[in-house]
Homo-oligomer: A and B are copies of this chain.
Amino acid sequence: MNALNALIRRDLTIAYRRWGELMTPIMFFILMTALFPLGLSPHPELLREIAPGVVWAAALLAGLLGQDSLFRSDYEDGSLEQLALAPLPLEWQALARTFTHWLGAGLPLVVLSPLMAMLLQYPAAAMPELAFGLLLGTLTLSLLGAIGAALTVSLKQSGMLLLVLVLPLAVPVLIFGAQSAAQAARGEDPSGALYLLGAMLVLGLVLAPFAIAGALRISLES
């Protein structure tokens, strides 16, 4: 586990050194939410209607944004082959690093959702459900994004094809996520959609590490 800690600490240090990484998700998220109201002529009730969609679009972006830099730089500077040779199984590494990336890109959305609720007139009463849904959803999206990143890291056409196949997997997450948020906003019970989100997360946690590790090995063999 010492090795796992070292890996996580390394990624966090690098994220911190690239100064922007810390500030950007927050600014990005506010700007992102600002975009939609700017586009429309915003009456509060309209905003409240689209708020779920907006938040979840932002979640998708944050999940996928910067994901390709997740393994790309390691591939290019040769750290990836070193990590592949390390005794620590690649599956564990994949899980740990996806989580570290999520800490920087996904978690801020969850933490900031109250602020966003205020900006978009989203009913404060439904906040907990929204945040919880985001917690589940962003994690799943990060795992999916990591698979895509691992596939594209060596820029092989096969990987590209597969990436195009992976992206649509995000759709169900978006649908159910936005649905749960909308239901909560209308005062209905969102637990159904939330259960589905949770199921997808569990599925992702079980399967994604193997997919990621396998994809990385393929990329290295090229």
Q: How many residues of A contact B (CB 8 A)?
A: 58
**Chain A's interface: helix, strand, loop or mixed, by majority?**
helix
* Given A35-B171, A36-B50, A105-B160, 4 extra CB contacts under 8 A: A24-B163, A35-B56, A39-B178, A40-B50
With A32-B57, A66-B158, A157-B18 already in contact, the answer to whether A38 and B175 are too (CB < 8 A) is yes
A79 at the interface (CB under 8 A from B): no
| Residues A13-39 near B (CB distance < 8 A) | 18-21, 23-25, 27-28, 31-32, 34-39
Q: Is the CB of A65 within 8 A of B179?
A: no
A191 at the interface (CB under 8 A from B): no
| Residues A127-151 near B (CB distance < 8 A) | none
A73 — which chain B residues lie within 8 A by C-beta? Answer: 156
Q: Which residue of chain B lies nearest to A61 when distances are taken between CB atoms in the complex?
A: B61
Q: Which residue of chain B lies nearest to A53 when distances are taken between CB atoms in the complex?
A: B39
With A27-B164, A27-B167, A40-B182 already in contact, the answer to whether A158 and B60 are too (CB < 8 A) is no
Oligomeric state, in number of copies? 2
Q: Is the CB of B32 within 8 A of A158?
A: no
Please give the distance in Å from A215's CB to the nearest CB on chain B. Answer: 14
Residue in B19, B36, B163 whose beta carbon sits within 8 Å of that of A31 in the complex: B163
A159 at the interface (CB under 8 A from B): yes
With A39-B56, A41-B182, A179-B40 already in contact, the answer to whether A23 and B160 are too (CB < 8 A) is yes
What CA separation (Å) do A38 and B24 show in the bound complex?
25
Q: Is the CB of A178 within 8 A of B53?
A: no
Interface residues of A (CB under 8 A from B): 18-21, 23-25, 27-28, 31-32, 34-42, 46, 49-50, 52-54, 56-58, 60-61, 64-66, 69, 73, 76, 105, 152, 155-161, 163-164, 167-168, 170-171, 174-175, 177-179, 182
A175 — which chain B residues lie within 8 A by C-beta? Answer: 35, 38-39
Q: Is the CB of B152 within 8 A of A20?
A: yes
With A50-B46, A60-B35, A174-B31 already in contact, the answer to whether A159 and B65 are too (CB < 8 A) is yes
Residue in B23, B58, B105, B158 whose beta carbon sits within 8 Å of that of A164 in the complex: B23
